[in-house]
Amino acid sequence: MLLHQTFESAAARHAAHRAIVREGVATTYDAMADRVEGIAASLRACGVQRGERVALFLDNCVEMVAAIYAVLKVGAVFMPINTLTKADKLAYILNDAEACALLTQQELAETSRAALAQNSSVRHCFMLTTYAHGKPDDGTPDVRERPFPAALAGAGCSPSHLDLIDQDLAAIIYTSGSTGDAKGVMLTHLNMLSALRSVRGYLGLRQDDVICCALPLAFDYGLYQCLMTFSLGATVVLERSFTFPVKVLTTMAKERVTVFPGVPTMFTLLTNLQTLKDFDLSALRLITNTAAALPETQIAQIRALFPQATLYSMYGLTECKRVTYLPPEQLDIRPGSVGRGMPNEEVWLVDDAGRRLPYGATGELVIRGSNVMRGYWRKPEQTAQRLRPGPIPGELVLYSGDLFRTDAEGWLYFVARRDDIIKSRGEKVSPREVENVIHALDGVLEAAVIGVDDALLGQAVKAFVVCKPGHALNERQVIKHCLAHIENFMAPKYVEFVDALPRTDTGKIKKSGLR
């Protein structure tokens, strides 16, 4: 089976069922199939070939989801791009991937046209105007620009008959590029189907689920909410973002949402919302978190606020989608853990020499499985750094670049990105461990810890702290609290109070912005 065939199968079985709810408007599976067919027909008419790359620079909307399956249906490779991306970076991505087509929307016309002015590979640009709420801009359209493809009414979802196999590329997802130019993660149909089935399986997702997705579809965590939904014939409530949580919660209550995937930023907004109790979220049965680990204090808050819902703490990375999950029954035993490897996958820790480590050690996490990427698009050196020979001759495994420790039973605990480890007084300091301690201090909303150059210590620990509204703390209070709970060499030497922490497009704290 290929990735888009999961949608085709579900659409055939659940034609009249709601596929997407967006801004109060429901789109059924048969209507979604018509949209997919319309976009696919236009791509074929434009000569899009098997293996060519099609960029999707669209908001969280029905057309974005339909475009994903349409691109796959014609044998091409879809590239979801975050709508916050600026023109120069968009141009870089289009040029790097040699994209043949760009599907975008009127609100992004200025950025798209500026990027296309620096590009020669894109032959066709489809501009969505029916979704636009504002007035069209006055920019000069690119000569390649044309209206967004319309749905083919009554077309249904015809099965695909291309000579594709599951080793063909399905998607290229560009990483944030915080340490240089963005890299295109190449994912095959097999990679994505393997990840989809494993995550869907351990979460126990069902056809009658209603999943709220307020995560960008250019972020693999958001993308897979739709892929898993449509593989089951379930319903996704699609939100543009979580910028206005009250609006999202109103929709969640109305639609009786059963599954809510979030990231720490979103949960911080939720747990500090005074009116949360006004929303009937009793239908919620699953809450998931990834992107960054939740502090233990926040885990306790979430469980207290939603006692009827099961919370899954997870860890993943774009290069293989998901890696680990903590079975919910383990939350009370080891709340700081992100669990063990998910089904159909093997994980272990290695030292700097690549030797496998026993339980109780700290080292780099290695992942083996059919969910592991093909590599970085046209970046062989960076690919070789991450994909290295595995235990079986001829195979490659993924070196995550993340440091973990295991307890005596093999449960995994995130320590830090390898590049984020602080070396102070000759000791290694995990920023995550210090952050967890600071989070436990009353009045702290968020915290981030980095290392700064220090003539005496080598590196000194510096904490950035965001206080909760109505609370005030000083540097001495934070340092004193840390000294009472962790070793002296781990306690911050400096504390800076800020109104907000810089973040990436996917909501992770951007520590390079703090440095």
**DSSP of 275-292:** TGGGS--TT--EEEE-SS
Q: E strands within 168-323?
A: 169-174, 184-188, 210-213, 235-238, 259-262, 286-289, 310-315
Mean pLDDT by 10 residues, the chain (515 residues): 96 97 96 96 95 97 97 97 90 96 96 95 91 49 79 75 91 72 93 97 98 94 97 97 93 98 88 92 95 80 94 94 95 92 96 95 96 97 95 95 94 85 76 86 91 82 93 92 85 93 78 77
CA atoms within 13 A on the CB side of 331: 22
Q: What's the pLDDT at 510?
A: 80
Q: What's the pLDDT at 422?
A: 86
SS3 assignment, position 514 = helix
Computed from CA positions of residues 190, 192, 195, 201, in that sequence, does the dihedral angle turn out positive or negative? negative
Strands 396-406 and 387-389 come out as antiparallel
Strands 444-454 and 396-406 come out as unpaired
Q: E strands within 316-456?
A: 324-325, 340-341, 345-350, 362-369, 375-376, 387-389, 396-406, 412-417, 422-424, 427-429, 444-454
Of the candidates 326, 336, 329, 285, which has an alpha carbon nearest to the alpha carbon of residue 307?
285
Q: What's the pLDDT at 58?
A: 97
Q: What's the pLDDT at 66?
A: 97
CA distance 401 to 416: 9
What are 385-393's contacts with CB under 8 Å, separation 24+? 386/319, 388/354
CA distance 390 to 397: 5
Q: How many residues does the chain have?
A: 515
Of the candidates 231, 228, 276, which has an alpha carbon nearest to the alpha carbon of residue 249?
276
Phi, psi (5° rounding) for residue 328?
-55, -30
CA distance 94 to 121: 8
Please enumerate in sequence order all residues whose Cβ is within 8 A of that of 301, keeping only pairs 6 or more positions apart, or say none: 271
CA atoms within 13 A on the CB side of 269: 15
Please enumerate in sequence order all residues whose Cβ is within 8 A of that of 384, keeping only pairs 6 or more positions apart, or say none: none
Tell me how far CA of residue 13 lies from CA of 2, 10, 74, 160, 232, in angstroms: 17, 5, 22, 16, 10
Ramachandran class of 339: left when φ > 0, alpha when ψ lies in -120 to 50, beta otherwise: left
Task: Write the single-letter amino acid at 175.
Answer: T
Whole-prediction pTM: 0.85
CA distance 414 to 337: 7
Q: Which domains does the chain have, with CATH numbers?
A: 3-13+28-186 (3.40.50.12780), 242-415 (3.40.50.12780), 427-514 (3.30.300.30)
CA distance 515 to 453: 10
Q: What's the pLDDT at 509?
A: 81
CA distance 201 to 206: 10
Q: What's the pLDDT at 485?
A: 83
SS3 assignment, position 53 = strand
Computed from CA positions of residues 236, 215, 326, 373, in that sequence, does the dihedral angle turn out positive or negative? positive
16 burial (CB, 10 Å; 0-12 / 13-18 / 19+) is: exposed
Q: E strands within 101-247?
A: 101-105, 124-128, 145-147, 169-174, 184-188, 210-213, 235-238
327 burial (CB, 10 Å; 0-12 / 13-18 / 19+) is: middle
**Paired tokens of 238:** 């699609």
Task: Write the single-letter amino acid at 314.
Answer: M
